[in-house]
Amino acid sequence: MRKDNGRSSPARPSYTASADPLPGGVIGSTPDSGSGSWGSSPCPAALTVVTIAERFNGPPGTGNGGYVCGLVAAEIGPAAQVSLYLPPPLGVPLELLHTRPGPVRLLHGDAVVAEGRPADVNIDVPAPPSYEEAAAARFELDHPFPGCFVCGPDHPDGLHILPGPVGSQLACTWRPGPHTDPVYVWAALDCPSGFACMPPGSASVLASMTARLDAPVEADGEYVVSAWKITSDARKHWGGSAIHDRSGALIACAEALWITPRPRG
C-alpha cells in the first residue's frame, strides 16, 4: 500500500554518516552543512538516513513493527501514534523525514513505510499481575514467527518476551540488559498486544501503535510486561500492553491495532 504525502520533495543535499550508530545498529546521517537548512533557505524538514539492521526482524525479511514504530517515535517524543503502511525493509537505506510542523515519515524511495505524529495518550491500563505471577506464566500459543526479535524463542539475541496467561491478561517478566533505549520499549510493547487480541492460529500484523513512555527502563531492572484484549471487528483487532516495574509503577503503555490478512485464493 502506498500513501502519497501530498507534497513535492525538497532538493536532497549530500550526506555524511554520523560517527556513532544510533541505538540498535541504525545508522544516522545529517546534512553536510550541519546547520539544519537546505542550503541558505530555512529548513522545511529534517531528513535522516537510517538502515534497520537485519536482526531487528519481525516476520521473516521485514522489520519488527514495534521497533520501527519506536524508531519513528524517537523523532517525536515520549507520546506518539505511529501507523505502518508497508512491511519495513531490512538492510537498505531508508529516510526519516520530519516536516515542521507536521508528521514524521519513514520513506523507502517515494513509498511511505510508516508515519507518526504526537498523540494525547489516555489508555485504561488494568492492574498488572505480580512479578511472581508473571514469572510463573508460560507461553502457550503456536508461534507464527519464532524468529521475531521481540517475541521469537528462536532469535539468538532477541528480547524473548513470551507472555503467558494470568487471569484475563497475558504477562511475563523482562530484564532489559543492553536494550534500554526507548526504541526497545516500543518493541517490548508490540508483540504482547498482538498475542492478546489476534484470533488463535492467525498471523495478524501490526497496523498502528499509540504509546506513552512515562519513565526509562534500567538495564538491571525487573519489569512485568502485560497485555490484554480490547475488542475486535472482523479482521481488525485492538490490544493493550504495559510495562510496570516490580513495585507496580507504570513505565510505559500502548494500544495497538492488528489486522488479519485476507485469506489467499
* In the predicted structure, residue 30 carries a pLDDT above the cut 70: no
Residue 126 pLDDT class (50, 70, 90 cuts): very high
pLDDT confidence of residue 140: 82
Distance (Å, rounded) from C-alpha 149 to C-alpha 153? 9
The pLDDT assigned to 200 comes to 79
- Of 81-90, 188-197, 255-264, which gets the smallest average pLDDT? 255-264
Least confident of 28-42, 46-60, 141-155, 177-191: 28-42
Whole-angstrom distance, CA of residue 145 vs CA of residue 93: 25
Fold topology of 15-118: Thiol Ester Dehydrase; Chain A (3.10.129)
> E-strand spans in 129-235?
164-166, 169-174, 205-213, 223-233
Span 77-81, mean pLDDT? 97
pLDDT for 46 equals 83
Q: Is the pLDDT of residue 32 over 50?
A: no
Give the pLDDT band of residue 99 (cuts 50, 70, 90): confident
* pLDDT tier, 44 (very low <50, low <70, confident <90, very high otherwise): low
Rounded to an integer, the average pLDDT of 213-219 is: 98
Q: What pLDDT was estimated at residue 264?
A: 75
Where in the sequence of the chain do the CATH 3.10.129.10 domains occur?
15-118, 131-259
Fold classification of 131-259 is: Thiol Ester Dehydrase; Chain A (3.10.129)
Q: Residue 15 — very low, low, confident or very high, per pLDDT cuts 50/70/90?
A: very low
Identify the pLDDT of residue 35: 25
What single-letter amino acid sits at 29? S
Q: What's the average model confidence in pLDDT over 97-118?
A: 94
Instruction: Please report where in the chains the cell 498482538 appears, as a residue.
Output: 194
Higher pLDDT residue, 46 or 228?
Answer: 228
- Which cell goes with 43? 529548513
Q: Cell for 92? A: 537498505
pLDDT of residue 221 exceeding 60? yes
The dihedrals phi and psi of 126, each to the nearest 5 degrees, come to: -70, 160
Q: Compute the distance between CA of residue 43 and CA of residue 170 in angstroms, rounded to an integer.
A: 46
- Give the type of residue at 196: A
